[in-house]
Structure 1
Amino acid sequence: MKPRNVLVLPGWENSGPRHWQSLWEQRHGYRRVEQHDWLKPLRGDWVARLEDMVLDCDEPAVLVAHSLGCILVAAWAAHSRHTHHVKAALLVAPGDVEQPAIRDQIPTWSPIALQRLPFASVLLASRNDPYCAFDRARGFAQAWGAQFMDYGDCGHINADSGLASWPEGHVLLQDLMKD
């Protein structure tokens, strides 16, 4: 699979330079789905941008989503006529945008799309993620038809989790790319 067809979907406020998503882009040549506004994300705009990027791939894409990026994958898949252009998705630490504090800040993201994803997916969740309760993440995996993986106590599975380039996560991605 060509690296340009691996699309990185950061969450709200983007992924910084020490985030495993950024490190994977640098090391492997994956492409970030750049959004028009990382601080005030609008679901419709983010979905449209993902649609453009998926259609720009020259083979089925693999999506690498973190936090709000996971919710984006579900929203996009619920409405796109081009889901057959995606081979698989790695969904890491979904952000629960229906929590009152988050919903008030980014209101266009509720309700969360809970339809089954029409492509293979793996969802990793941490037991102490401040942005999504563990059981809620398990519920997302079940609704989306994703394989669920318990990642222990790893916070939001981001740069603050001390993962560096997160080689274990990259092995999971490579497995999805092969299937």
Structure 2
Amino acid sequence: MATTYRPPRLIIIPGLHDSGPAHWQSWLQSQFRDARRVQQRDFSQPELQRWADRIASTVDHAGPGEWLAVAHSFGTLALARYLDEHADTPIRQALLVAPAEPDKFGLAELLPQQRLRIPCTLIASQNDPWMTPHSAQRWARRWGASYSNLGRVGHINSESGFGPFPLAKRWVEVALARAAREQRPLHASFREWSFAI
């Protein structure tokens, strides 16, 4: 008996101090009915392992099914750590927006130094105070992520003018369409992992 296809759900992974109501992550979460947000015990304390463990518990407690992860700032580092530790992750694809510089927290050696387990897209800024474009490109290469620089747009948060962020919504929509396409027998062998921006 054929099982009913269930599309991947969206998991939002905020950075330090969470993403407030004006932040694009909150807007994006509101666009998808089944979206979940990782809630840290203390968003003001950047504890990499504890944050990665919260991603794991959020996914585990939500029940079976695949996920699309959208992480911002320190949340991208927590997601990278989580992915390095979970070979059987149900997260199938990730969007990493404006990563925080690991060296600012003394965490570089705790992060994966090789390609991540899933296809990723990393979006950076030319004048992000939290990570230089050179460093962002270096981490993208290290993690095997496709890379895009949006120009001089700050930390890509509400303070730099990002409430609605159509580019992130489009990424989710493309990933959902790809997941649905891969359920069809005719396209069972087709894989189109990169997301062109």
Unaligned stretches of 5+ residues in structure 1: none
Q: Is 1:141–2:140 an aligned residue pair?
A: yes
Cα RMSD (Å): 1.7
Q: Which amino acid aligns with 2:48?
A: R
Which residue of 82, 88, 93 maps to 2:98?
93
Q: Is 1:14–2:18 an aligned residue pair?
A: yes
Which residue of 41, 48, 55 maps to 2:53?
48
Question: Following TM superposition, by how much is the alpha carbon of 1:110 offset from its aligned partner in structure 2, in angstroms?
Answer: 4.1
Question: Following TM superposition, by how much is the alpha carbon of 1:28 offset from its aligned partner in structure 2, in angstroms?
Answer: 2.2
* In 2: Cα distance, 1:162 partner to 1:168 partner: 14
Q: Kindly provide the CA deviation profile for residues 92-136 of structure 1, in whole angstroms up to 9, marking residues without a partner as x.
A: 00000313xxx2xxx5x4433322111111100000000000010
| 90 and 127 in structure 1: CA distance in 2 versus 1, 3 angstrom threshold | same
Q: Which amino acid aligns with 1:86?
A: I
* In 1: Cα distance, 2:7 partner to 2:150 partner: 28
* In 2: Cα distance, 1:91 partner to 1:66 partner: 6
- Superposition map of 1:144-155 within 5 A: 144-155=143-154
Q: Kindly provide the CA deviation profile for residues 110-165 of structure 1, in whole angstroms up to 9, marking residues without a partner as x.
A: 43332211111110000000000001001111111111011111100110121221
* In 2: Cα distance, 1:67 partner to 1:113 partner: 16
Q: Which amino acid aligns with 1:42?
A: E
**Corresponding residue number in structure 2 for 1:66:** 72
The alignment covers a number of residue pairs equal to 170
Normalised to the residue count of structure 2, the TM-score between the two structures is: 0.80
Secondary structure of the residue that 2:12 maps to in structure 1?
strand
Secondary structure of the residue that 1:28 maps to in structure 2?
coil
Secondary structure of the residue that 1:64 maps to in structure 2?
strand
Moved runs in structure 1, 4+ residues, more than 6 A?
A: none
Secondary structure of the residue that 1:7 maps to in structure 2?
strand
* In 2: Cα distance, 1:152 partner to 1:167 partner: 16
**Corresponding residue number in structure 2 for 1:23:** 27
Question: Following TM superposition, by how much is the alpha carbon of 1:67 offset from its aligned partner in structure 2, in angstroms?
Answer: 0.4
Secondary structure of the residue that 1:130 maps to in structure 2?
coil
* In 1: Cα distance, 2:174 partner to 2:39 partner: 25
Which residue of 74, 78, 81 maps to 1:75?
81
**8 Å Cα contact 1:60-1:86 kept in structure 2:** yes
